[in-house]
Structure 1
Amino acid sequence: MPKLLVKLCLAVCLLSTSTFLSAHGPTRKKVTETIQINVPASEVWEIIGDFGSADVWLPMVTGIESEGGNEPKAKRTLILAPDVKVYEELKKHSDEKMSYTYKIPVKTHDVAILPVNNYSSTISVKDSGTGSIVTWKGAFYRGYPNNDPPAELNDDAAIAAVTGLYKAGLEHLKTLAESQ
């Protein structure tokens, strides 16, 4: 009888452990996009280096409200349409490194617009010798924090939205920088 009890306990432990392990929530996703721009890095940084200038180079941004300049905790509101806004906060900024990092504060945007949570991002410009390379990378969780998300808030939707944003922004930046 004791052996049967031990086997039964082991079986229960194994089953509950496997159920527990498969019941976790979403994992953090990452997207990185880069683009070669045939303009010196300093000229590209002049376009994107001001945290409050996203409306200049992001085609989907129709307006911007910003406060705090390029200091940590500066804030900007990207206006995508009259009633569609995304709030962002600057974490760090370096003109010397031609880079800044920002985040979307928790629960400040409509996940139907950008299906992500706990989003942070870094954009940087490096000299490539023949121009510059702009890298935009982000880390985030999908828009639905629990198991079994709806299709529009799942991992694939989050990755597709961020990738689309980065590609459109970088392509527009390239066109803008190379036409000046």
Structure 2
Amino acid sequence: MIRSLLAAALVALAAAPAAAHGPTPQRMRMEAAIAAEPDRVWPLIAQLAAIGVWHPALADVVVTGGPGRGALRTLTFAAGGAVVEGVDDLDDASRTLRWRLKEPDPAAFPASFYSSDIKVEPAPEGSLVTWSSNFYRADTGNYPDETQDDAAAVAAMEAFVTEGLAGLKTLAESLD
């Protein structure tokens, strides 16, 4: 009897670490068709602070360190809090911007790290904008709070990108 209880306890203890795991990499890719030529859409992305004009979740954007690679972009959220992003690449020829999270604020955005890119390509009706992100949840421990787990990170990233693409589309299509 004692041997059976001991064996059951050992099995339970061995299984507990298997149930706990750290963050899993998340990936997201969204596209928006915009009825505006790429030469009209691209500057709204390439001008790093312009995201503050077209993204409804942002109250302010401050860029330091230049217009391209190595620049830092501080995004202040309308709901409070801020994150700092670092620009990895800004390529006018391919109309691609790549950046990564440098200083997270888990209370403002539930990710501990992300790397993202936006690409603008010609499309039959104007432009196709693709926004891709790879990211990790805010709490990288084994038992994250539900506000900082994988589901929270995915929901936040999907909402941020969806709102951003909608705002970009609205602004780009309104320009003459």
Q: Normalising by structure 2, report the TM-score.
A: 0.85
1:71-101 per-position Cα deviation (integer Å, ceiling 9, x unaligned): 2111111122496222111011100111111
Q: Give the counterpart of 1:126 among 98, 121, 135.
A: 121
Q: Using a 3 Å threshold, how does the CA distance of structure 1 residues 20 and 80 change in structure 2: closer, same or farther?
A: closer
Residue 54 of structure 1 pairs with residue 55 of structure 2: no
Gaps of 5+ in 1: 1-13
Q: For the aligned residues, what is the CA RMSD?
A: 2.1
Equivalent of residue 37 in structure 1, options 34, 37, 47: 34
Trace 1:5-154 onto structure 2 (pairs within 5 A): 22-81=19-78, 84-105=81-102, 108-154=103-149
1:155 is the counterpart of 2:142? no
Unpaired runs of 5+ residues, structure 2, are 1-10
Highest Rg: 1 or 2? 1
Question: Which segment drifts farther, 77-86 or 60-69?
Answer: 77-86
The one-character-per-residue Cα deviations of 1:3-55 (angstroms, maximum 9, x if unpaired) are xxxxxxxxxxx999976655431111011111100111111002111223221
Aligned length: 165
SS at match of 2:58: coil
For the 8 Å contact 1:65–1:77, the answer to whether it is kept is yes
**8 Å contact from structure 1 (residues 116, 143) kept in 2:** yes
TM-score by length of 1: 0.83
In the other structure, the counterpart of 2:8 is none
CA-to-partner distance for each residue in 1:137-176, whole Å, 9 max, x for gaps?
1111111101121111111110000000000010011111
